[in-house]
Amino acid sequence: MFRTLVVGLGRAGAALHLPVLDRLRAGTDAVDGLLADAPIVAVDPAPPPSFHRPGTLLLPSLERARAELDPETTVVHVCTPPEDRAAVLGHLARLGFVHLLVEKPLAVDVAQLARIEELCGRFGLRLVVVAQWLVSSLTRRLERCVTGGEYGELRTIHFTQSKPRFTRSAVTNGHPTAFDVEIPHALGVALRLAGPAQLTGAGWSDLVAGDLVRPRLGTATLRLTHHRGASTCLVSDLTAPVRERSIVCEFTDAHVIGHYPVSQDDGFAQLTVTDRRGAVREVFPDDALTAFVLDAYQRFADQGPFDSDLAVNAEVVRLVDAAKRYCAQHEGRPTTTADPVRHAG
Protein backbone atom coordinates (compact mmCIF):
# COMPACT_ATOMS: atom_id res chain seq x y z
CA MET A 1 0.00 0.00 0.00
CA PHE A 2 1.14 3.52 -0.80
CA ARG A 3 1.76 6.45 1.50
CA THR A 4 1.21 9.89 -0.03
CA LEU A 5 3.46 12.94 -0.17
CA VAL A 6 2.02 16.21 -1.51
CA VAL A 7 4.69 18.75 -2.52
CA GLY A 8 3.32 22.28 -2.80
CA LEU A 9 0.24 23.63 -1.03
CA GLY A 10 -0.99 26.20 -3.53
CA ARG A 11 -4.37 25.80 -5.16
CA ALA A 12 -3.51 22.53 -6.93
CA GLY A 13 -2.11 20.85 -3.83
CA ALA A 14 -4.42 22.19 -1.12
CA ALA A 15 -7.68 22.75 -2.99
CA LEU A 16 -7.61 19.92 -5.55
CA HIS A 17 -5.29 17.02 -4.68
CA LEU A 18 -5.87 16.86 -0.92
CA PRO A 19 -9.70 16.85 -1.24
CA VAL A 20 -9.45 14.10 -3.89
CA LEU A 21 -7.26 12.04 -1.56
CA ASP A 22 -9.78 12.58 1.24
CA ARG A 23 -12.58 11.28 -0.98
CA LEU A 24 -10.56 8.23 -1.98
CA ARG A 25 -9.47 7.47 1.57
CA ALA A 26 -13.05 7.87 2.80
CA GLY A 27 -13.44 4.47 1.36
CA THR A 28 -14.44 2.74 -1.80
CA ASP A 29 -13.62 -0.86 -2.57
CA ALA A 30 -11.44 0.37 -5.44
CA VAL A 31 -8.80 1.80 -3.10
CA ASP A 32 -8.44 -1.28 -0.92
CA GLY A 33 -4.79 -2.31 -0.97
CA LEU A 34 -3.70 0.95 -2.66
CA LEU A 35 -3.78 3.72 -0.04
CA ALA A 36 -2.29 3.10 3.40
CA ASP A 37 -4.25 4.13 6.48
CA ALA A 38 -1.58 6.61 7.57
CA PRO A 39 -1.25 10.41 7.62
CA ILE A 40 -0.71 12.20 4.33
CA VAL A 41 2.62 14.03 4.37
CA ALA A 42 2.76 17.53 2.89
CA VAL A 43 5.82 19.68 2.21
CA ASP A 44 5.79 23.41 1.61
CA PRO A 45 8.48 25.72 3.01
CA ALA A 46 5.91 28.55 3.16
CA PRO A 47 2.47 26.94 3.58
CA PRO A 48 -0.71 29.05 3.59
CA PRO A 49 -1.08 30.65 7.06
CA SER A 50 -4.50 29.06 7.57
CA PHE A 51 -3.46 25.57 6.47
CA HIS A 52 -4.57 22.89 8.91
CA ARG A 53 -5.94 19.50 8.00
CA PRO A 54 -6.55 16.59 10.37
CA GLY A 55 -4.71 13.53 9.08
CA THR A 56 -2.06 15.58 7.25
CA LEU A 57 1.49 15.88 8.56
CA LEU A 58 3.03 19.18 7.42
CA LEU A 59 6.84 19.18 7.10
CA PRO A 60 9.24 21.97 6.05
CA SER A 61 11.53 20.05 3.67
CA LEU A 62 11.78 17.05 1.37
CA GLU A 63 14.61 15.69 3.54
CA ARG A 64 12.26 15.61 6.52
CA ALA A 65 9.67 13.83 4.38
CA ARG A 66 12.29 11.27 3.28
CA ALA A 67 12.97 10.45 6.94
CA GLU A 68 9.23 9.84 7.42
CA LEU A 69 8.54 7.85 4.24
CA ASP A 70 9.81 4.88 2.26
CA PRO A 71 10.26 6.14 -1.33
CA GLU A 72 9.49 2.72 -2.80
CA THR A 73 5.99 2.77 -1.29
CA THR A 74 5.23 6.49 -1.62
CA VAL A 75 3.36 8.34 -4.36
CA VAL A 76 4.50 11.95 -4.64
CA HIS A 77 1.99 14.54 -5.87
CA VAL A 78 4.13 17.32 -7.37
CA CYS A 79 1.98 20.45 -7.17
CA THR A 80 4.68 23.13 -7.35
CA PRO A 81 4.67 25.84 -10.07
CA PRO A 82 5.83 24.55 -13.45
CA GLU A 83 8.78 26.93 -13.83
CA ASP A 84 10.82 25.04 -11.19
CA ARG A 85 9.50 21.61 -12.18
CA ALA A 86 12.80 20.05 -13.28
CA ALA A 87 14.58 21.16 -10.10
CA VAL A 88 11.87 19.70 -7.85
CA LEU A 89 11.79 16.41 -9.77
CA GLY A 90 15.58 16.17 -9.60
CA HIS A 91 15.53 16.74 -5.83
CA LEU A 92 12.89 14.04 -5.36
CA ALA A 93 14.77 11.60 -7.63
CA ARG A 94 18.01 12.04 -5.70
CA LEU A 95 16.14 11.28 -2.47
CA GLY A 96 14.94 8.01 -4.00
CA PHE A 97 11.30 8.84 -4.84
CA VAL A 98 10.23 7.23 -8.12
CA HIS A 99 6.37 7.24 -8.17
CA LEU A 100 5.54 10.78 -9.28
CA LEU A 101 2.13 12.28 -10.08
CA VAL A 102 2.99 15.66 -11.63
CA GLU A 103 0.64 18.60 -12.15
CA LYS A 104 0.36 19.95 -15.67
CA PRO A 105 2.09 21.33 -17.60
CA LEU A 106 4.95 18.85 -17.41
CA ALA A 107 7.37 21.59 -18.49
CA VAL A 108 7.22 25.19 -19.67
CA ASP A 109 9.58 24.73 -22.63
CA VAL A 110 11.49 22.08 -24.53
CA ALA A 111 14.72 22.73 -22.64
CA GLN A 112 13.05 21.91 -19.32
CA LEU A 113 11.35 18.92 -20.96
CA ALA A 114 14.75 17.56 -22.03
CA ARG A 115 16.01 17.81 -18.43
CA ILE A 116 12.94 15.95 -17.15
CA GLU A 117 13.27 13.22 -19.78
CA GLU A 118 16.93 12.79 -18.77
CA LEU A 119 15.92 12.48 -15.10
CA CYS A 120 13.34 9.83 -15.98
CA GLY A 121 15.93 7.78 -17.82
CA ARG A 122 18.69 8.19 -15.24
CA PHE A 123 16.61 7.44 -12.13
CA GLY A 124 13.93 5.16 -13.60
CA LEU A 125 11.13 7.53 -12.63
CA ARG A 126 7.57 6.25 -12.96
CA LEU A 127 6.00 9.57 -13.91
CA VAL A 128 2.35 10.37 -14.60
CA VAL A 129 1.24 13.87 -15.62
CA VAL A 130 -2.11 15.06 -14.28
CA ALA A 131 -4.28 15.06 -17.41
CA GLN A 132 -7.69 14.27 -16.02
CA TRP A 133 -9.55 15.42 -19.11
CA LEU A 134 -8.19 12.36 -20.91
CA VAL A 135 -10.13 10.04 -18.56
CA SER A 136 -13.14 12.34 -18.32
CA SER A 137 -16.52 10.77 -19.01
CA LEU A 138 -17.17 13.57 -21.51
CA THR A 139 -13.92 12.90 -23.39
CA ARG A 140 -14.72 9.20 -23.59
CA ARG A 141 -18.14 9.99 -25.07
CA LEU A 142 -16.48 12.29 -27.59
CA GLU A 143 -14.03 9.52 -28.51
CA ARG A 144 -16.97 7.22 -29.23
CA CYS A 145 -18.45 9.91 -31.48
CA VAL A 146 -15.18 9.96 -33.43
CA THR A 147 -14.52 6.23 -33.63
CA GLY A 148 -18.11 5.02 -34.02
CA GLY A 149 -18.50 6.43 -37.52
CA GLU A 150 -22.17 7.29 -36.99
CA TYR A 151 -21.61 11.02 -37.49
CA GLY A 152 -19.12 10.86 -40.34
CA GLU A 153 -15.64 12.35 -40.30
CA LEU A 154 -14.42 14.79 -37.66
CA ARG A 155 -13.75 18.11 -39.41
CA THR A 156 -13.10 20.74 -36.72
CA ILE A 157 -12.60 21.06 -32.95
CA HIS A 158 -13.05 24.34 -31.10
CA PHE A 159 -12.23 24.63 -27.39
CA THR A 160 -13.28 27.60 -25.27
CA GLN A 161 -11.78 27.89 -21.78
CA SER A 162 -12.78 31.05 -19.96
CA LYS A 163 -12.39 32.14 -16.36
CA PRO A 164 -11.44 35.27 -14.43
CA ARG A 165 -7.93 34.77 -13.02
CA PHE A 166 -6.94 38.27 -11.97
CA THR A 167 -6.25 37.61 -8.28
CA ARG A 168 -4.10 34.51 -8.77
CA SER A 169 -2.19 36.09 -11.64
CA ALA A 170 -1.47 39.13 -9.46
CA VAL A 171 -0.01 37.20 -6.52
CA THR A 172 1.68 34.17 -8.15
CA ASN A 173 4.44 33.80 -10.76
CA GLY A 174 4.40 30.06 -11.43
CA HIS A 175 2.72 30.18 -14.85
CA PRO A 176 4.71 32.33 -17.30
CA THR A 177 1.96 32.64 -19.95
CA ALA A 178 -1.71 31.88 -20.49
CA PHE A 179 -0.58 28.90 -22.59
CA ASP A 180 0.57 27.19 -19.37
CA VAL A 181 -2.71 27.41 -17.42
CA GLU A 182 -5.61 25.72 -19.26
CA ILE A 183 -4.35 25.05 -22.79
CA PRO A 184 -2.37 21.85 -21.94
CA HIS A 185 -5.56 20.03 -20.85
CA ALA A 186 -7.46 20.92 -24.02
CA LEU A 187 -4.49 20.22 -26.26
CA GLY A 188 -4.20 16.69 -24.89
CA VAL A 189 -7.87 16.08 -25.67
CA ALA A 190 -7.51 17.46 -29.20
CA LEU A 191 -4.58 15.14 -29.90
CA ARG A 192 -6.54 12.22 -28.45
CA LEU A 193 -9.58 12.91 -30.64
CA ALA A 194 -7.95 13.96 -33.91
CA GLY A 195 -4.42 12.57 -33.75
CA PRO A 196 -0.97 14.13 -34.29
CA ALA A 197 -0.86 17.71 -35.50
CA GLN A 198 1.26 20.64 -36.56
CA LEU A 199 0.95 24.19 -35.25
CA THR A 200 -0.50 26.64 -37.79
CA GLY A 201 -1.06 29.74 -35.69
CA ALA A 202 -1.01 31.20 -32.19
CA GLY A 203 -1.64 34.41 -30.27
CA TRP A 204 -1.50 35.81 -26.75
CA SER A 205 -2.42 38.99 -24.90
CA ASP A 206 -1.69 40.65 -21.58
CA LEU A 207 -3.87 40.52 -18.48
CA VAL A 208 -4.84 44.10 -17.65
CA ALA A 209 -7.03 45.38 -14.80
CA GLY A 210 -6.49 49.01 -13.82
CA ASP A 211 -2.85 49.34 -12.78
CA LEU A 212 -2.35 45.55 -12.85
CA VAL A 213 -0.57 44.34 -15.97
CA ARG A 214 0.66 40.76 -16.32
CA PRO A 215 2.32 40.21 -19.71
CA ARG A 216 1.07 37.24 -21.76
CA LEU A 217 -1.33 36.07 -19.03
CA GLY A 218 -4.55 37.40 -20.56
CA THR A 219 -5.55 35.17 -23.47
CA ALA A 220 -3.96 32.36 -25.47
CA THR A 221 -5.03 31.03 -28.86
CA LEU A 222 -3.52 27.96 -30.52
CA ARG A 223 -4.40 26.55 -33.96
CA LEU A 224 -3.54 23.11 -35.29
CA THR A 225 -3.93 21.09 -38.45
CA HIS A 226 -4.10 17.37 -37.75
CA HIS A 227 -2.43 14.85 -40.02
CA ARG A 228 -5.77 13.09 -40.61
CA GLY A 229 -7.31 16.32 -41.93
CA ALA A 230 -9.20 17.92 -39.05
CA SER A 231 -8.35 21.36 -37.67
CA THR A 232 -8.40 22.60 -34.08
CA CYS A 233 -8.65 26.01 -32.45
CA LEU A 234 -8.04 26.34 -28.69
CA VAL A 235 -8.94 29.61 -26.98
CA SER A 236 -8.23 30.36 -23.31
CA ASP A 237 -9.38 33.69 -21.83
CA LEU A 238 -8.17 34.36 -18.27
CA THR A 239 -9.83 37.80 -18.25
CA ALA A 240 -13.37 36.58 -18.94
CA PRO A 241 -16.20 37.58 -16.57
CA VAL A 242 -17.66 34.05 -16.57
CA ARG A 243 -16.34 30.49 -16.42
CA GLU A 244 -16.69 28.09 -19.34
CA ARG A 245 -14.99 24.89 -20.50
CA SER A 246 -16.63 23.87 -23.72
CA ILE A 247 -15.75 21.89 -26.83
CA VAL A 248 -17.51 21.99 -30.19
CA CYS A 249 -16.84 19.18 -32.66
CA GLU A 250 -18.09 19.47 -36.23
CA PHE A 251 -18.56 16.20 -38.06
CA THR A 252 -19.70 15.78 -41.65
CA ASP A 253 -23.10 14.62 -40.36
CA ALA A 254 -23.44 16.05 -36.85
CA HIS A 255 -22.72 18.98 -34.53
CA VAL A 256 -21.50 17.98 -31.06
CA ILE A 257 -21.17 20.34 -28.08
CA GLY A 258 -19.65 19.30 -24.75
CA HIS A 259 -19.32 21.21 -21.49
CA TYR A 260 -16.75 20.08 -18.91
CA PRO A 261 -17.32 20.89 -15.21
CA VAL A 262 -15.99 24.39 -14.54
CA SER A 263 -15.02 23.77 -10.90
CA GLN A 264 -14.97 21.14 -8.16
CA ASP A 265 -18.22 22.64 -6.81
CA ASP A 266 -20.43 20.86 -9.37
CA GLY A 267 -18.90 17.83 -11.02
CA PHE A 268 -21.34 17.34 -13.90
CA ALA A 269 -20.66 17.47 -17.63
CA GLN A 270 -23.06 17.94 -20.52
CA LEU A 271 -23.12 16.68 -24.09
CA THR A 272 -25.49 17.71 -26.89
CA VAL A 273 -25.47 15.90 -30.23
CA THR A 274 -27.42 17.39 -33.15
CA ASP A 275 -27.81 15.39 -36.35
CA ARG A 276 -30.50 14.86 -38.97
CA ARG A 277 -32.76 13.26 -36.34
CA GLY A 278 -32.64 16.28 -34.04
CA ALA A 279 -30.80 17.14 -30.82
CA VAL A 280 -30.13 14.85 -27.85
CA ARG A 281 -28.72 16.27 -24.58
CA GLU A 282 -27.09 14.29 -21.76
CA VAL A 283 -26.07 15.46 -18.28
CA PHE A 284 -23.85 13.11 -16.26
CA PRO A 285 -21.36 13.05 -13.33
CA ASP A 286 -17.77 13.64 -14.37
CA ASP A 287 -15.37 13.69 -11.40
CA ALA A 288 -12.40 13.28 -13.70
CA LEU A 289 -9.64 14.22 -11.26
CA THR A 290 -10.67 11.59 -8.69
CA ALA A 291 -10.86 8.95 -11.41
CA PHE A 292 -7.47 10.01 -12.76
CA VAL A 293 -5.72 9.88 -9.38
CA LEU A 294 -7.17 6.44 -8.64
CA ASP A 295 -6.05 5.19 -12.06
CA ALA A 296 -2.54 6.59 -11.45
CA TYR A 297 -2.20 4.74 -8.12
CA GLN A 298 -3.35 1.52 -9.79
CA ARG A 299 -0.70 2.01 -12.50
CA PHE A 300 1.99 2.57 -9.86
CA ALA A 301 0.91 -0.64 -8.12
CA ASP A 302 1.14 -2.70 -11.32
CA GLN A 303 4.26 -4.85 -11.23
CA GLY A 304 4.49 -5.18 -15.00
CA PRO A 305 6.00 -2.69 -17.48
CA PHE A 306 5.00 0.84 -16.50
CA ASP A 307 2.33 2.42 -18.69
CA SER A 308 3.88 5.88 -19.02
CA ASP A 309 2.11 8.76 -20.74
CA LEU A 310 5.31 10.78 -21.00
CA ALA A 311 5.33 10.76 -24.81
CA VAL A 312 1.83 12.28 -25.11
CA ASN A 313 2.56 14.98 -22.54
CA ALA A 314 5.93 15.70 -24.11
CA GLU A 315 4.14 16.34 -27.40
CA VAL A 316 1.82 18.79 -25.60
CA VAL A 317 4.87 20.61 -24.23
CA ARG A 318 6.50 20.78 -27.66
CA LEU A 319 3.39 22.21 -29.35
CA VAL A 320 2.86 24.77 -26.58
CA ASP A 321 6.53 25.75 -26.79
CA ALA A 322 6.17 26.17 -30.56
CA ALA A 323 3.11 28.40 -29.96
CA LYS A 324 5.08 30.59 -27.53
CA ARG A 325 7.95 30.93 -29.99
CA TYR A 326 5.52 31.80 -32.77
CA CYS A 327 3.90 34.49 -30.61
CA ALA A 328 7.28 35.94 -29.63
CA GLN A 329 8.28 36.14 -33.30
CA HIS A 330 5.00 37.76 -34.37
CA GLU A 331 4.35 39.99 -31.35
CA GLY A 332 2.54 43.14 -32.35
CA ARG A 333 1.29 41.64 -35.63
CA PRO A 334 -2.17 40.17 -36.30
CA THR A 335 -2.26 36.42 -35.62
CA THR A 336 -3.77 34.48 -38.49
CA THR A 337 -2.79 31.17 -39.99
CA ALA A 338 0.96 30.66 -39.90
CA ASP A 339 3.32 28.50 -41.83
CA PRO A 340 3.69 25.20 -39.97
CA VAL A 341 6.26 25.73 -37.21
CA ARG A 342 6.76 22.13 -36.29
CA HIS A 343 5.68 18.77 -37.59
CA ALA A 344 4.36 16.69 -34.66
CA GLY A 345 5.39 13.08 -35.08
What Cα–Cα distance (Å) separates residue 215 from each residue in 69, 169, 175, 208, 212?
41, 10, 11, 8, 10
**CA separation for the pair 139, 151 (Å, rounded):** 16
pLDDT of residue 337: 34
Which of 127, 57, 49 has the alpha carbon at shortest distance from 85? Answer: 127
Q: Provide the strand spans (E) within 8-165.
A: 40-43, 56-59, 74-78, 99-102, 126-129, 154-164
pLDDT grade for 192, boundaries at 50, 70 and 90: very high
Evaluate the omega torsion of the peptide bond into residue 164 and state whether it is cis, within 30 degrees of 0.
Answer: no
Residue 257, pLDDT above cutoff 70: yes
Determine which of 18-27, 82-91, 165-174, 232-241 has the lowest per-residue pLDDT on average.
165-174
**Residue 170, pLDDT above cutoff 70:** yes
pLDDT of residue 49: 81
- Which domains are present in the chain? 3-129 (3.40.50.720), 133-287+319-329 (3.30.360.10)
With bands split at pLDDT 50, 70 and 90, how would you rate the model's confidence at 340?
very low
Q: pLDDT grade, residue 330 (50/70/90)?
A: confident
Q: For residue 311, is pLDDT > 90?
A: no
pLDDT tens per residue, range 50-99: 788 888 999 999 999 999 999 999 999 999 988 889 999 999 999 999 99
286 closest CA partner among 267, 303, 299, 266: 267
**Mean pLDDT, the chain, whole residue set:** 91
Q: Is the pLDDT of residue 43 over 90?
A: yes
Does 304 score more than 90 pLDDT? Answer: no
- CB contact at 8 A, 97 and 76: yes
Sign of the torsion angle spanned by Cα atoms 176, 182, 183, 187 = positive
What torsion do the CA atoms of 131, 137, 143, 147 make, to the nearest 10 degrees? Answer: 140
Q: How confident is the model at residue 344 (pLDDT cuts 50, 70, 90)?
A: very low
Nearest to 17 by CA among 77, 107, 81, 73: 77
pLDDT at site 168: 85
Burial 296-321, CB ≥16 within 10 A → b, else e: bbebbeeeeebeebbeebbbbbbbbb
Q: Say how far residue 262 (Cα) sits from the centre of its chain.
A: 14
Indicate whether 275 pLDDT > 80: yes
Model confidence at 282, pLDDT cuts 50, 70, 90, reads: very high
pLDDT exceeds 90 at position 263: no
Q: Above 90 in pLDDT, residue 13?
A: yes
- Is the pLDDT at 336 greater than 50? The verdict is no
Instruction: Decide which of 50 and 252 is more confident.
Output: 252
Tell me the one-letter amino acid at 317.
V
Q: What is the largest CA-CA distance in the chain?
A: 63
Instruction: Summarize the confidence of residues 312-319 as an average pLDDT.
Output: 94
Q: Mean of the pLDDT values across residues 258-281?
A: 93
Taking each helix axis from N to C end, the angle separating 110-123 and 310-329, rounded to the nearest 10 degrees, works out to 160
| Extended strands (E) in the chain | 3-7, 40-43, 56-59, 74-78, 99-102, 126-129, 154-164, 197-209, 212-226, 231-237, 239-251, 255-259, 268-275, 278-285
The residue-averaged pLDDT of 310-328 equals 94
Summarize the confidence of residues 115-138 as an average pLDDT: 95
Q: Which residues pair with 283 in a beta bridge?
A: 270
Give yes or no for residue 342 having a pLDDT over 50: no
- Indicate the length of the chain as a whole number: 345
